[in-house]
Amino acid sequence: MTNERQNSADQTDLTVEQENPPETARWVILSFIAGLVVAALALEYYGYIVHPNKNDQALINELKLLSLKPEFDIKVSSKPSGKESLCVNGYLLLRPTNGKSVAGIVVDEKNRPIDCTLVQAPMPAATDSERGQDNTEAAVAQ
């Protein structure tokens, strides 16, 4: 009889364990999520997470494009704009000519950068008088 009670007690323990499986998986998942939260808070506290601010997105100047088609009358000022453009790593940069080292990438209305390529401008054709001067200088050098 004692054996029967012990067997029935063992069977009830097994059924209880089957009904309530160990919660290790749940604790592993919860501790993983807690670890991620603690890591993110620590990175934020020590300044490793950098958030953009308003100064990073400062609009320096708005530009407009003038068409070079002959049917449009284009009038531009003779005064310099105080800005110069550069082609760096395939992007068009704009910076002031007053000596400050601030430069910005030129983007369109959807913040897509304007691409650029370095193109060699064709050399202007020499006039006859310049050709004659070059020939006389070459003749004198010989």
What are the domain boundaries of the chain?
Answer: 2-45, 61-120
Q: Is the pLDDT of residue 97 over 60?
A: yes
Averaged pLDDT score across all residues of the chain: 74
pLDDT tens digit string along 45-77?
999 998 877 766 666 677 777 777 878 777 888
| Whole-angstrom distance, CA of residue 51 vs CA of residue 59 | 18
Residue bearing the bigger pLDDT, 54 or 28: 28
Residue bearing the bigger pLDDT, 106 or 141: 106
| Whole-angstrom distance, CA of residue 37 vs CA of residue 41 | 6
Q: Report, as an integer, the average pLDDT of 31-42.
A: 97
Q: What is the pLDDT of residue 32?
A: 97
pLDDT tens digit string along 98-135?
877 777 888 888 888 889 887 766 666 655 555 444 44
Instruction: Look at strands 83-88 and 104-105 and give their pairing.
Output: unpaired
Among 8-17, 22-31, 41-50, 92-101, which range has the highest average pLDDT? 41-50
Residue bearing the bigger pLDDT, 85 or 29: 29
